[in-house]
Amino acid sequence: MKCSSGCTAAKVVDRYRPHEIVALVKAGYSEELINSDVIWACSVCLKCTEYCPQRVSPFEVVMALRNEAVSRGIAPPKGFVEMAKSVLRVGYIQEPMYTMTKDFEEVSRKELGLPEMPKPRDFEKFRQHVLLVGFERLKEIAQA
Amino acid sequence: MVEGEEVRIGVYVCHCGINIASVVDVKKVVEEVSKVPNVVVAKDYQFMCSQPGQSMIVEDIKQHNLNRVVVAACSPRMHEPTFQKAVERGGLNPYLFEMANIREHCSWVHEKEKAAATDKAVKLIKAAIAKVRLSKPLKVERVKVIPRALVIGGGIAGIRASLDIANAGFEVHLVETRPSIGGNMARLDKTFPTLDCSQCILTPLMVEVSKHPNVTLHTYTDVVSIDGSVGSFKVKLLKKPRYVDESKCTGCGTCVLKCPWTAPSEFDLGLGKRKAIYFEFPQAVPLIPVIDTEHCMYFQKGTCRACERFCPTKAIDFNQKPKEVELEVGAIILATGYALYDVAKAMPEYGYRKYKDVITGLELERLVSATGPTKGQILRPSDGKEPKKVAIILCVGSRDEKHLRYCCRFGCVAGIKHAYYVVSHIPDAEVYVCYRDIRTFGKGYEEFYERIRNYENVRFIRGSPMEILQDADGSLYFDVFDANTNRVVTLRPDLVVLETGVVPHPTFKEVAKLLKCAIGPDGFALELHPKLRPTETSVDGVFLAGAVQGPKDIPDTVAQAGAAASSAIALMSKGYVETVPYVSSINEDLCSGCGVCEPLCAFDAISLVEKDGGKKVAKVDVSKCKGCGVCAAACPSGAAQQLGFTDEQILAMVRSLAR
């Protein structure tokens, strides 16, 4: 269970355990998972795939469950849809503006001397590609 | 049988219980093959290898005057010798026999295609009939076995095997690449599950083997070549120079005391220091020091010579040269042991070698040992402080598809023992053992686990960390998911102990190359049969003892060493071996002397000789030929033939199968 030891999402979402998702799918509980918002917690860091001693990839299992949910018209959690919208709007899951320092000070990238975040060079082309992989469908489902 | 005599074949189809008969229609097979010309009798039986099955063959040979026998059953690797002996009991040459494999090659792989499997069985048997029809009687030769054994590796396996052979009255040469015998066991402080002192049970054996009148010890020596075969191997050893005259040295240790230069100690796995002239460890056998030329100032800069000046017996000899030793032995025992998996390189996520306070289990053994770098105190390497929180991680590299697929077989119990080391040395310490499964299969191991589990300050966490990280203040921490509590816990240990996986010792690969013995997929020596012949190798007369065959704990290693010794003793007591007659044979009239075969022969069995009249022809040394068939396959004129597998026979099989 190295996956659950090092999982980025599990550190903040107690209910999310990659090994548990794989075990549930193997035991025939896929339906339950497709209808659950727990599968949307994965942050796609791929550490589980990298370190699994049995060459299992919990990440791929989670992605398959997500695709199945979307194809059935099951809405993902609101936060996830907002992220998707943000990607279509500005190219990022959220607009990078401010960040919090260790002393709880809000600073901008500019104040930290960081360069401005690069944007997709051809935004329309980027949008088209993102829509191709089914992003629009997420929005539709959420609105329905 | 007499040349030109009528060929009379008996065919026997085995059911192998239901292994064959549940897929292949054996009755139909018998009906089909009995129609083949020269087949006099064809029968089926439930277990051909059983006593009644074998007797059936013996009786039929006499009753039906058979001069060829085919058995269709399992693999010839399994039962060819069984049936050859039966055929011999019936009065026939055992090489007038052929086996058709209708189990591994047919019923087991065609479970769902019964009709097709039956057809295939018939074809395989017909091919065997086509081959046996052309078989000729072959002669088995007897070769003398030299009553002397070579044992490679001076760890507990090699020591035990050497003592057993020596006690049976045979001469033994024990070779060890390091300056002292003792191996990995000498590094351990205590042995599980009884917790008796490792040195206390090992050193008496080390001394016994070195003093035994039948044993010659070759320490600091490598094996450079092995020729010949079972019964008479010709071995060359290279004794590396110690720069100390063994006949003069008394082991007083003055040189070591006076030597001003130091280097990391190999025996202490780099945790401690030793001098440039050093004993491998205080109880080294033989107790003769070695000069490490890389760190010796005399060898590097030409000055110092302190050891030479102070040696009371004038034993230092800076001009010592490597010495070659030649031996002839009848049997060889491989006991090269194991090495630890290179976790620093293969698993950087655990930070071994990057963080000083991440150590291996074997390194902890050195810390706990009274003769180790900390004189038996558990002090962490970074600041020499006593750790109050220790994490022990099991299965590091083992049972991992991306690293070592196999279990190391002692990591669990070693880890439990290491938890005991910590709480017995530092009573107020907390120990966390992170495990995937606990495997305590040996005698007394589960009871030992139970005992350590009951310590209040030893906690078992069911889960492995993914990575070990370092905080800004230099302290180590890691997250681990505990399946028992369903929580991810963060541990901040002062010391992390990795129970690393094990790999074959690197010397094994070199020795295996010299011997041309088979290596398994995991890199360990491949035994002849995993259950029934676990100490034998693909090379006759070469036996396996200990971790060379696969990871083993001490009880299993000692047991296998005894078994390997008894196999070698049996071979030497019998005094002779029978050669396999499937050797290459050259038809000198056909041989053009092109020499294609000579460099292809892996066993140096072929040489070109000049005949009367200046014609060159290939000549086979049958004592070296292993019957691999390479020369027969390569020969452009068909002059090289492998007896028992001649071109004529192979083509007859192909023709039969293609029909």
| pLDDT single digits (tens) B522-556 | 999 999 989 999 999 989 999 999 999 999 999 99
pTM for the predicted model, two decimal places? 0.85
**A23 chain-B contacts, CB cut-off 8 A:** none
Q: Are strands B9-14 and B68-73 parallel, antiparallel or unpaired?
A: parallel
**B186, pLDDT greater than 60:** yes
Tell whether A4 is within 8 A of chain B (Cβ). Answer: yes
Total residues belonging to chain A: 144
Cβ contacts (< 8 Å) between B399 and chain A: which residues? 53
- The closest of B527, B540, B539, B615 to B577, measured between CA atoms, is B540
Mind listing the pLDDT tens digit for each residue in B566-607? 999 999 999 999 888 999 999 999 999 999 999 999 888 899
Backbone angles phi, psi at B453, to 5 degrees: -60, -25
The closest CB to that of B481, out of A5, A51, A55, belongs to A5
For residue B523, the SS3 value is coil
Q: Among all chains, which residue has been given the structure tokens 């074997």?
A: B362
Is ipTM > 0.85 here? no
DSSP string, B256-275: HHH---EEE-TTTTTSSEEE
DSSP bridge partners of B607:
B619
Whether the per-residue pLDDT at A144 is higher than 70: the answer is no
Question: Is A45 an interface residue toward B (CB < 8 Å)?
Answer: no
The helix (run of H) or strand (run of E) holding residue B481 is strand B476-482
Q: Are B595 and B571 in contact (CB under 8 A)?
A: no
Check residue B638 and report its DSSP letter: S
Asked if the Cβ–Cβ distance from B488 to A5 is below 8 Å, we say yes
Range of weakest confidence among A89-98, B8-17, B447-456: A89-98
Residues B564, B172: Cα–Cα separation, whole Å:
13
Question: Is the pLDDT confidence value at A98 over 80?
Answer: no
Helix/strand/coil percentages in chain A, nearest 5: 50, 5, 45
The residue assigned the tokens 């006099």 is B40
* pLDDT tens column, B472-498: 999 999 999 999 999 999 999 999 999
Which backbone phi and psi does B299 adopt, to 5 degrees? -70, -30
Q: Kindly report the average pLDDT of chain B as a whole number.
A: 95
CA-nearest residue to B491 within chain A is A5
3-state secondary structure at position A129? helix
Whole-number Cα distances in Å, B168 to A27, B561, B578: 59, 14, 23
Residues of B in contact with A9 (CB under 8 A): none
**Averaged pLDDT, A67-92:** 86
Q: What is the CA radius of gyration of chain A?
A: 18
Chain A residues closer than 8 Å to B402 by CB: 53, 55
Look at residues A68, A69, A77 and name the one whose alpha carbon lies nearest to residue A13.
Answer: A77
Q: pLDDT per residue over B235-246, tens digit each?
A: 999 999 999 999
Rounded mean pLDDT of A96-102?
Answer: 72
The amino acid that residue B202 corresponds to is L
Quick one: how far is CA B212 from the chain centroid? 26
Which residue on chain A is closest to B437 by alpha carbon?
A: A1
Pairing of strands B338-340, B502-504: antiparallel
Residue B32 has pLDDT above 90, yes or no: yes
Q: Are strands B430-435 and B389-396 parallel, antiparallel or unpaired?
A: parallel
**Residue B1 clears pLDDT 60, i.e. is over it:** no
Within an 8 Å CB–CB cutoff, is residue A5 touching chain B?
Answer: yes
Buried b (16+ CB within 10 A) or exposed e, B452-482: beeeeebbbbbbbbbbbbeeeeeebebbbbb
List the domains of chain B with CATH numbers.
9-132 (3.40.50), 148-182+193-240+322-337+505-576 (3.50.50.60), 254-310 (no CATH), 339-503 (3.50.50.60), 584-643 (3.30.70.20)
Contact in structure between B432 and B468 (CB atoms under 8 Å)? no
Q: Of B144, B138, B178, B142, whose CA–CA distance to B158 is shortest?
A: B178
